[in-house]
Amino acid sequence: MLGLLGVWKSTGLVSSLVFPSCLKAGKGFCPSLAQAFPATVKFRRRFCASLAEVKPAASTMASAQKKVLVPIGFGIEEMEVVILVDVLRRAGSDVTVASVETDLQIEASRRVKLVADMLISNCTEEMFDLVVLPGGMPGSSRLRDCEILQSITKKQAADGRLYGAVCAAPAVVLETWGLLKGLRATCHPSFISQLSSSLTVGSRVQRDGIVTTSRGPGTTMEFALSFVEQLYGKEKAEEVAKPMVMRTKGNSELVKQEFNRVEWSFSTTPRILVPIANGSEEMEAVIIIDVLRRANADVVVASVEETLEIVASRKVKIVADKLIEDASSSAYDLIVLPGGMPGAERLSKTESLIQLLKEQAESKRAYGAICASPAVVLEIHGLLKEKNATAHPAFTQKIADQSAVGTRVVIDGNLITSRGPGTTMEFALAIVDKIFGQEKATGIAEAMVFPYP
C-alpha cells in the first residue's frame, strides 16, 4: 500500500484521492482498524502531513510549456512579430515562427529582414495552444491569402483553442475568414471600419472567449502579455513584465529628462547606425530600426559577427544590411546600440565599433544605448564620463553617475540612454523628437497607437 501511495504522490494523483475518515489525522479514528493495520495507522499522520506539499495536477498543467504559432510574410509588421515571439519565449513557450512564403527569409514592412524557423507547410500536423497573427501591410494580406494558415487557424477556433491577431490582421484576416462573428474585437484604427461586427470596440487589447485582438505596434507588448496570462496565469505575466521595465499605472518614475540641451539638426537625411550581435535584444533592435525608418531616417543595420544573420537573445533570426567592417568606413549622424545579453558584451568587444563610438563622441555627434549597453559598452569605454545616463535596473549599479538612473529616457547633450524593452518605444520616439521635432514624433506615435509624449 505504501508503495502505491508513493506512486500516487509522485504523479500528483494523490490530491484527488478520497480516504475514509478513520484514516484521517485527528479525532474519530477507528480502534479496530488500528489493531488490524498498525503500520497503516502509524503512516496516516506522515501521509496527511505530506499532502500539503503535493501540488495539484492542474497546477502542473498550467506551468507546462505551451506551443505557439506566429506566421510571417512579406510586409509583416516587424515590431509586432518580434514582440510577440520575444515575450512568449520569455514565458517559456515553444514558439514557431513560420513563413507563409516559399522562403524562410522575409522582408518586413520597414525592411527588417527576418528568418522563420520553418515554412507554414511544415506546421499542418502540429497542434498549437495559441495561433497569433501579427499585422502590417501588405503582410496581413499575405497571411489572409495563405490557405494552409487559414485551415490551421479555423481548426484552432473549431477545437476551442486560443487564437488572436493585432493591427490590420483582425480585420484583414480574421474578419475575412469569418472568425470574428458575434465576438467583441478591435484592430488598428485605420481598419476598424472593416470589422462588420456591431461589437467592435476601441480597447487596446480585447478578449472575447478564445479570441484576443489588439490595435497596433504600440499595444503589442500588452497583447503579448495577455496571452502569457491566459496560458500561464497572472503571476507569470507579472514575472515576465517586470524585467522588461513596462510602463505601469501609478508608477512615479520620470519618463524623460534632458540635461545640457543641444540641438540635433541635420541639413540632409540623417544617417543612423544600429549595430547588432548574437544575443542582442530583438525587441530593442527592431523597435529602434522600425521607428526611425518610419521617420524616414537612413538606418544602416550592421552585424558585428562574421555573418549578416544574427541570432538574438530570444532566438529571433535577423539579417543585417552590412557587416560592421563595411559599415565603419562611413560617418553617421547617430549611432544607437540595442542591449540584451550577451549581445551587449559582443558589441563592447568589437574594436571597430568602439572606435566609431569614440570618434562620434569626440566629434560631438549623437550616440546612444539602451538596456545593458549603457553600462556594458559606454561606461566601460569611458563614453559616459561626466554624463547623466540610465540603464536596465540590473545594470544601473555600474553607471558612475547615479543621479538619473531611475528615469526611463535620459538625454545629456549628444547622448541618449534608456532602460529596457518596455522603454524602447519612448527611447526611439525621443530620438525622432530630437532630430525631426515633437510633431513628427507625435504623428508616428499616433500611427503606432502609442501615447507620446
Active-site residue numbers? 167
The residues near 98 (Cβ < 8 Å, ≥ 6 apart) are 69, 70, 71, 72, 116, 117, 118, 119, 120, 122, 123
> CA–CA separation, 246 vs 254, rounded Å?
13
> CA–CA separation, 162 vs 211, rounded Å?
6
Integer angstrom CA distances of residue 194 from 173, 181, 198, 320, 394: 11, 13, 11, 36, 44
Angle at 134 between CA 128 and CA 136, to 5 degrees: 160
CA distance between the termini of the chain: 67
> CA–CA separation, 43 vs 141, rounded Å?
65
Q: What is the 3-state secondary structure (H, E, C) of 41-63?
A: HHHHHHHHHHHHHCCCHHHHHHC
Residues 116, 106: contact at Cβ < 8 Å? Answer: yes
> CA–CA separation, 154 vs 131, rounded Å?
10
The residues near 335 (Cβ < 8 Å, ≥ 6 apart) are 272, 273, 275, 356, 357, 360, 366, 367, 368
Give the DSSP letter of residue 136.
-
Residues 317, 306: contact at Cβ < 8 Å? Answer: no
Q: Please give the biggest Cα pair distance in the chain.
A: 97
Residue 197: closest CA among 18, 208, 205: 208
Residues 350, 324: contact at Cβ < 8 Å? Answer: yes
> CA–CA separation, 417 vs 376, rounded Å?
13
Residue 131: closest CA among 74, 168, 179: 179
Q: In what order do the strands lie in the sheet with 113-115?
A: 105-107, 113-115, 317-319, 309-311
The residues near 185 (Cβ < 8 Å, ≥ 6 apart) are 170, 174, 175, 195, 197, 199, 200, 201, 206, 208, 211, 213
- Helical spans, DSSP H, in 75-201: 78-90, 139-144, 147-158, 169
Instruction: Count CA within 13 A, CB hemisphere, residue 227.
Output: 37
> CA–CA separation, 405 vs 1, rounded Å?
61
